[in-house]
Amino acid sequence: MGYNTSMQKATFADIPADSHGLISKRTATLDGVEVTQVTFDVGAKWSNDLKAYAGTEDCVLPHVALVIAGTLGVVMTGGESAEFSAGDVMLLPPGHDAWSVGDVACTFVEFSRGNDYYAGGSAE
């Protein structure tokens, strides 16, 4: 397997936001990995802002991310819940709802390689 030996750089501010209700994301695509900045504005909730767009009962995407601002509340379909705040690293399996907690927007940066964990295969 060959790897790109050149450094790569992307700047989130230069990437147009993809917004659904109070949730927006900007995805930087580098060689072999996507890095996405996701912002849940104050009052944002996946089931209110993205459920209709996704067409699923809950979020079925896994997330491996670093929270860089605010707090994200998460509840799994089975009832387990947690909050993740700035500085926390989170791994969310498929099957959850999430929302911004309090009066500060929550922003996290996620890495697409996290999908490999749930795909049952190794990264290629």
Q: Is 120 among the domain residues?
A: no
> Residue 111 has which token pair?
């890495």
Overall size of the chain counted in residues? 124
User: Nearest-CA neighbor of 107 among 34, 10, 24, 46?
Assistant: 24
CATH number for the domain harbouring residue 70: 2.60.120.10
Q: What is the pLDDT along the chain (124 residues), one digit of tens a residue?
A: 566 678 999 999 999 999 999 999 999 988 878 899 999 999 999 999 999 999 999 999 888 999 999 999 999 999 999 999 999 999 999 999 999 999 999 999 998 764 555 555 433 3
Full domain range(s) for residue 98? 19-115
Q: Is 111 among the domain residues?
A: yes
Q: What's the number of domains the chain is made of?
A: 1
The pTM (predicted TM-score) of the whole model is 0.85
Q: Is 14 among the domain residues?
A: no
95: left (phi over 0), alpha (psi -120 to 50) or beta: left
**CA count, 13 A, side-chain hemisphere, 30:** 17
Q: Is 6 among the domain residues?
A: no
